[in-house]
């Protein structure tokens, strides 16, 4: 059957649904009569009336005009109340004129045919009204009314099995599509899983009854007519389905509004979680720094080497174990901060400002203070160890010399105070005098040792030796005893000299022996003291100097031996003369206590100490050679690692500027590059081990390299941090590109232009360079719009500034700089640059959009109730809004009303919540 002639012209398409020369299919006409009648009554009942016969009840035009007034909400001209045909025609014409005034082109429909009860024309006119007032405004994704309604049905029924809506006739015969539409919007009304495709009558009747009972959609068709018709009438189906669309349109708007609000709130909740994570991580890191700095700044020295070495070992543990995780936390904190700021910019949110004292700059400042304290701490401990080593050496030397001196002075006071000369013979007195002279010579020889003891005690005091009181006490006792010995010596000499005049005999030979034996004995004692003297050296040159001095000492031994033999020859001569002259010696040499046996014993001791000294010096030489090997080993590796770190830093600098390929390719390459750097870590660990060996060996200098372990540690940490930041920059660019829909070609164009004006490859643009970059990309800073003008270099840009009086949109450019450089640093980073370009060229959700969405949920009220939020939003997001919305205080406020407008604007930083 052909369709009617065109009776309605849509602004976008023409619906050709009737051919006035042919008859309507009887089955279709029956369906249309029932559907159109029910549709008209669904509106007429609002005016308290209805129709029974569609072609009869509209003949006088009165109910037709009333129908148009109800569905349009407008007043038509006053109808004529007469019963004559002319009155009826005039009323129908008024209705048709109103339809035509709404942009509807009526073809071949006249008032006379309606007044005459022409069923075909009457149905065509009603279909025209349905199209104009019920279907025309339905549009999904810029489609026509019919296509829009069909697309809406397809989307709503897509999840349901056995439903495939392709048209407005056969697709609806089994009734499942009607049930799916209802279940999609009101799932509590229908148990869809119990419906069967092979039972269309049950399905259709179920949908019609539920729609009429719960949705206020009158039953417009009979299930039997649809099932028993090969192809149900399309217009009847469309009319009935449009009632579903209008019934659910409010829910559709609410669903769309709720989805928008949920999306915005989800972004806000995620950002708040990121902010909380940043605050906690920053707080923990700052607390750790605050706890660590006082420890590093504590310069209270320990009393012993063992305590200071333990302190140094604790510091090494801090550098190896405790600090590296904090370095990673600091780097991760900066990465999290940058990622959070990027997400906030992409979601059109205000920038995140950490709480006071937790800014990235605050953390960097605290970290700088930490490293400052750390740098001086290790140097101080090494100096303290050196000082304690020196103190221990001096203290031991003091004790050794003091013991030797105290051993020598033992009994000397008793000897000097005896009165033996009073009963002695002349020879004995002379002997006593000569003996005393020898003692004075010996006393003078010991003066140097006493001065050395006093000097060592003074140095220990100056170096703040912890046991200085006992040292001072012992030194004071030695000095006082030395003064007493001096006084007693002088007193005894005076006594002997008074007696000397009475005594004339003296054994010159004994005297000569004593005079030569005493200095030789002192020389041997000094030699033994020197051979046993402790020494401390720090390099090969110093130990070789000691070895040379020792060799020189050994070269004097033959001459000393000759002196020993000469002294022993004197004693032999005494024995020979006594024996020859028959003199009986009454004991030893009266002028000295140094016997030949004493000289021989001491000489033997000197000969024993010489090889022991040789061995000690050679052992120290081997130790210094080992230390020199440690220095060379560390220097060899450090001279490789240091330049390697510098090279990698320079390469990263070039990579961050000269990146090629897609961002994903760059990210893969950078991560591979980062892995290659991480794989170099064993070399750093090896250096740390070598450095620890050097410190344990108390090596404090290294002439073979300019690199220190501290220098290399800092360089390694900076290298890891720099590559991590570079990777994070690419990740943020990918995030920006995907969120804003920026193409790879646009990003390449941005990067090329940015690098073109970044003349010094610093990774940032000064204000003048940035302005030139914008102009080169076609951004009109005068009119705030983008136009392609080709790239411009800095020389042409400066010429343009001169030609225009340097006034290219000062106000607009100041606005832009406030966006890309909020901290007024004078430098624009690439990330800030692409954030700005993406913001200017893409759309984002706004506060107005969110307010409009809340207004839909609130049914056009200026406030929203908590129960409305709980009904329309998921539970967590509903409670999120309720907790943060302020009470509404407008003129139409009511108890429990919430202010969604201020909440929405606060999300975008436009007001304070």
- Residue ranges covered by each domain of the chain: 258-393, 419-594, 646-780+804-838, 847-908
d(CA 96, CA 363): 78
The pLDDT value given to residue 783: 55
Provide φ and ψ at 865, rounded to 5°.
-95, 155
Which class would CATH give 847-908?
mainly alpha
The pLDDT value given to residue 166: 94
The pLDDT value given to residue 840: 67
The pLDDT value given to residue 578: 57
Per-residue pLDDT of 324-378, as tens digits, reads 998 888 898 889 889 988 888 888 888 888 988 889 889 899 999 988 888 877 7
Give the tokens for residue 475: 């030194």
d(CA 531, CA 534): 9
Q: Are 687 and 638 in contact (CB under 8 A)?
A: yes
pLDDT band at 14 (very low <50, low <70, confident <90, very high): very low
Q: Are 405 and 449 in contact (CB under 8 A)?
A: yes
Q: Does the fold of domain 847-908 match that of domain 258-393?
A: no
d(CA 555, CA 484): 39
User: Cα torsion for 195, 199, 202, 203, to the nearest 10°?
Assistant: 50
d(CA 724, CA 667): 11
201: enclosing H helix or E strand: helix 200-214
The pLDDT value given to residue 645: 92
Q: Where are the alpha helices (DSSP H) in 765-829?
A: 767-776, 794-803, 810-820
Beta-carbon contacts of residue 695 (< 8 Å; ≥ 6 apart): 312, 316, 382
Alpha carbons within 13 angstroms on the beta-carbon side of residue 482 total 21
The separation between CA 512 and the C-alpha centre of its own chain, rounded to angstroms, equals 89
- The winner for highest mean pLDDT among 89-93, 665-669, 858-862 is 89-93
The pLDDT value given to residue 340: 86
Q: Locate tokens 């570079």: which residue?
A: 726
Q: Are 169 and 233 in contact (CB under 8 A)?
A: yes
Burial of 50 (0-12, 13-18, 19+ CB in 10 A): middle
Q: Reduce the DSSP state of residue 741 to 3 states and report it.
A: coil
CATH architecture of 419-594: Up-down Bundle (1.20)
Is the confidence at residue 797, as pLDDT, over 60?
A: no
Burial of 367 (0-12, 13-18, 19+ CB in 10 A): middle
Q: Hey, CA dihedral for 180, 186, 187, 189, is it positive or negative?
A: negative
Vertex 92, ends 86 and 97: CA angle to 5°? 120
Separation in Å, CA 872 to CA 190, 251, 256, 866, 881: 21, 10, 10, 10, 12
pLDDT band at 421 (very low <50, low <70, confident <90, very high): low
Q: Which of 652, 666, 651, 648 is nearest to 751 (CA)?
A: 666
The pLDDT value given to residue 5: 34
Alpha carbons within 13 angstroms on the beta-carbon side of residue 367 total 23
Rg (CA), the chain: 55
Q: Hey, CA dihedral for 714, 720, 723, 728, is it positive or negative?
A: negative
The pLDDT value given to residue 587: 64
d(CA 776, CA 441): 100
Q: Are 833 and 770 in contact (CB under 8 A)?
A: yes
User: Cα torsion for 686, 690, 696, 697, to the nearest 10°?
Assistant: 160
539: enclosing H helix or E strand: none
Average pLDDT across the chain, whole number: 82
540: enclosing H helix or E strand: helix 540-555
Give the tokens for residue 901: 């407008």
Q: Are 418 and 439 in contact (CB under 8 A)?
A: no
913: enclosing H helix or E strand: none
Per-residue pLDDT of 385-406, as tens digits, reads 777 777 778 888 888 888 888 8
In the chain, pLDDT over 90 holds for what percent of residues?
Answer: 24
Q: Which of 377, 630, 371, 400 is nearest to 525 (CA)?
A: 400
pLDDT, mean of residues 824-828: 85
Q: Locate tokens 């259709």: which residue?
A: 204
Q: Reduce the DSSP state of residue 349 to 3 states and report it.
A: coil
d(CA 6, CA 15): 6
Is the confidence at residue 751, as pLDDT, over 70?
A: yes
Q: Are 856 and 892 in contact (CB under 8 A)?
A: no
Specify the higher pLDDT residue, 732 or 748. Answer: 732
d(CA 627, CA 698): 9
pLDDT, mean of residues 796-812: 53
d(CA 364, CA 366): 6
Specify the higher pLDDT residue, 498 or 20. Answer: 498
Beta strands in 673-782 (DSSP E): 764-766, 779-780
Beta-carbon contacts of residue 813 (< 8 Å; ≥ 6 apart): 771, 781
Specify the higher pLDDT residue, 341 or 467. Answer: 341
Specify the higher pLDDT residue, 900 or 465. Answer: 900
Q: Are 240 and 220 in contact (CB under 8 A)?
A: yes
Q: Which of 521, 373, 398 is nearest to 458 (CA)?
A: 398
The pLDDT value given to residue 880: 92
Neighbouring-strand partners of residue 14: 9
d(CA 481, CA 739): 93
What does the DSSP assignment read for 203-226?
A: HHHHHHHHHHHHS-----S-HHHH
Q: Where are the alpha helices (DSSP H) in 298-359?
A: 305-317, 323-346
d(CA 844, CA 532): 88
**Stretch among 297-311, 504-518, 588-602, 628-642 having the lowest mean pLDDT:** 504-518
Is the confidence at residue 297, as pLDDT, over 60?
A: yes
Q: Are 35 and 220 in contact (CB under 8 A)?
A: yes
Is the confidence at residue 209, as pLDDT, over 90?
A: yes
Number of H helices, E strands in the chain: 33, 8
Burial of 567 (0-12, 13-18, 19+ CB in 10 A): buried
Beta-carbon contacts of residue 251 (< 8 Å; ≥ 6 apart): 185
Q: Locate tokens 């229908």: which residue?
A: 190
pLDDT band at 775 (very low <50, low <70, confident <90, very high): confident
Per-residue pLDDT of 180-192, as tens digits, reads 999 988 899 999 9
Per-residue pLDDT of 57-113, as tens digits, reads 989 999 999 999 998 889 999 999 888 999 999 999 999 999 888 888 777 788 899
Vertex 841, ends 838 and 846: CA angle to 5°? 85
Q: How many CB atoms lie within 10 A of CB 811?
A: 10
The pLDDT value given to residue 715: 92
Give the tokens for residue 313: 């070992």
Q: Are 785 and 774 in contact (CB under 8 A)?
A: no
Instruction: Please tell me the CATH code under which domain 646-780+804-838 is placed.
Output: 1.20.58.60
Q: Which of 342, 265, 353 is nearest to 838 (CA)?
A: 342
pLDDT, mean of residues 564-587: 72
Q: Which of 786, 801, 871, 904 is nearest to 836 (CA)?
A: 786
**Stretch among 237-241, 331-335, 431-435, 804-808 having the lowest mean pLDDT:** 804-808
Beta-carbon contacts of residue 433 (< 8 Å; ≥ 6 apart): 493, 496, 497, 499, 500, 503
Q: Are 740 and 346 in contact (CB under 8 A)?
A: yes
CATH topology of domain 258-393: Methane Monooxygenase Hydroxylase; Chain G, domain 1 (1.20.58)
The separation between CA 54 and the C-alpha centre of its own chain, rounded to angstroms, equals 76
């Amino acid at each position: 059957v052909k369709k009617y002639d065109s009776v309605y012209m849509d602004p976008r398409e023409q619906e050709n649904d009737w051919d006035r020369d042919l008859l309507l299919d009887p089955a279709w006409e029956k369906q249309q009569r029932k559907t159109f009648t029910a549709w008209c009554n669904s509106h007429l009942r609002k005016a308290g009336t209805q129709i029974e016969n569609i072609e009869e009840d509209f003949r006088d035009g009165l109910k037709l005009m009333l129908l148009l007034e109800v569905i349009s909400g407008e007043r038509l001209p006053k109808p004529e109340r007469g019963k004559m045909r002319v009155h009826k025609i005039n009323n129908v014409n008024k209705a048709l004129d109103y339809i035509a005034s709404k942009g509807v082109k009526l073809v071949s429909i006249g008032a006379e045919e309606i007044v005459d009860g022409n069923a075909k024309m009457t149905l065509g006119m009603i279909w025209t009204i349905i199209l104009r007032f019920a279907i025309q405004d339905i549009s999904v994704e810029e489609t026509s009314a019919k296509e829009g309604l069909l697309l809406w049905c397809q989307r709503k029924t897509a999840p349901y099995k056995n439903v495939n809506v392709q048209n407005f006739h056969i697709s609806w015969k089994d009734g499942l599509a009607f049930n799916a539409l209802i279940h999609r919007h009101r799932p509590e009304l229908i148990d869809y899983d119990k419906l069967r495709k092979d039972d269309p009558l049950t399905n259709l009747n179920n949908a019609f009854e539920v729609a009429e009972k719960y949705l206020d959609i009158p039953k417009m068709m009979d299930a039997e007519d649809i099932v028993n018709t090969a192809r149900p009438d399309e217009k009847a189906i469309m009319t009935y389905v449009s009632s579903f669309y209008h019934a659910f349109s409010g829910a559709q708007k609410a669903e769309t509004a709720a989805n928008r609000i949920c999306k915005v709130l989800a972004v806000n909740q995620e950002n708040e979680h990121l902010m909380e994570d940043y605050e906690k991580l920053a707080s923990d890191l700052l607390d750790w720094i605050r706890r660590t700095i006082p420890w590093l700044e504590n310069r209270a020295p320990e009393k012993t080497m063992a305590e200071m070495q333990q302190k140094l070992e604790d510091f090494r543990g801090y550098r190896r174990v405790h600090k590296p995780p904090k370095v990673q936390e600091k780097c991760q904190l900066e990465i999290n901060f940058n990622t959070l700021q990027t997400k906030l910019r992409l979601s059109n949110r205000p920038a995140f400002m950490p709480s006071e004292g937790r800014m990235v700059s605050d953390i960097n400042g605290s970290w700088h203070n930490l490293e400052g304290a750390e740098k001086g701490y290790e140097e101080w401990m090494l100096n303290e160890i050196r000082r304690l080593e020196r103190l221990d050496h001096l203290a031991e030397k003091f004790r050794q010399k003091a013991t030797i001196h105290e051993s020598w002075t033992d009994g000397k006071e008793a000897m000097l105070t005896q009165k033996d000369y009073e009963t002695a013979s002349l020879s004995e007195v002379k002997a006593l005098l000569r003996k005393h002279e020898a003692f004075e010579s010996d006393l003078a020889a010991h003066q140097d040792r006493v001065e050395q003891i006093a000097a060592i005690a003074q140095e220990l005091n100056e170096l703040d030796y912890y046991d200085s009181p006992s040292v001072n006490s012992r030194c004071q006792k030695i000095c006082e005893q030395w003064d007493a010995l001096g006084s007693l010596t002088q007193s005894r000499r005076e006594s002997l000299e008074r007696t000397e005049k009475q005594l004339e005999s003296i054994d010159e030979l004994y005297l000569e022996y004593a005079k030569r034996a005493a200095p030789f004995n002192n020389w041997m004692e000094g030699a033994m003291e020197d051979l046993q003297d402790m020494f401390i050296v720090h390099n090969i040159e110093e130990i070789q100097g000691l070895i040379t001095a020792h060799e020189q000492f050994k070269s004097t031994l033959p001459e000393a031996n000759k002196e020993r033999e000469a002294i022993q020859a004197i004693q032999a001569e005494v024995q020979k003369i006594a024996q020859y002259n028959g003199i009986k010696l009454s004991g030893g040499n009266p002028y000295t206590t140094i016997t030949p046996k004493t000289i021989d014993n001491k000489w033997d001791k000197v000969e024993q100490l010489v090889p022991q000294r040789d061995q000690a010096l050679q052992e120290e030489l081997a130790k210094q050679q080992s230390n020199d090997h440690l220095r060379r080993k560390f220097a060899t590796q450090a001279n490789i690692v240091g330049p390697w770190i510098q090279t990698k830093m320079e390469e990263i600098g070039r990579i961050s500027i000269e990146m090629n390929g897609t961002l994903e390719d760059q990210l893969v390459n950078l991560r591979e590059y980062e892995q290659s750097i991480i794989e170099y870590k064993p070399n750093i660990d090896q250096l740390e081990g070598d450095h620890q060996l050097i410190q344990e060996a108390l090596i404090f200098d290294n002439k073979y390299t300019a690199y220190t372990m501290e220098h290399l540690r800092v360089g390694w940490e900076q290298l890891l941090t720099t590559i991590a930041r570079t990777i994070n920059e690419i990740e943020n660019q990918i995030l920006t590109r995907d969120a804003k829909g920026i193409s790879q070609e646009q990003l390449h164009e941005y990067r090329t232009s940015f690098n073109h004006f970044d003349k010094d490859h610093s990774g940032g643009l000064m204000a003048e360079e940035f302005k030139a970059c914008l102009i080169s990309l076609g951004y009109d800073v005068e009119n705030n719009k983008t136009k392609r003008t080709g790239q411009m270099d800095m020389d042409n840009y400066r010429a343009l500034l001169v030609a225009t009086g340097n006034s290219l949109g000062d106000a607009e450019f100041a606005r832009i700089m406030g966006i890309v450089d909020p901290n007024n640093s004078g430098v624009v980073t690439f990330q800030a640059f692409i954030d700005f370009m993406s913001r200017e060229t893409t759309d984002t959700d706004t506060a107005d959009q969110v307010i409009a969405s809340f207004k839909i949920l609130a049914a056009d009220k200026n406030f929203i109730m908590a129960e409305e939020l709980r009904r329309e939003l998921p539970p967590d997001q509903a409670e999120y809004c309720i907790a943060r919305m302020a009470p509404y205080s407008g003129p139409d406020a009511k108890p429990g009303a919430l202010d969604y407008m201020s909440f929405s604007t606060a999300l975008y930083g436009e007001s304070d919540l």
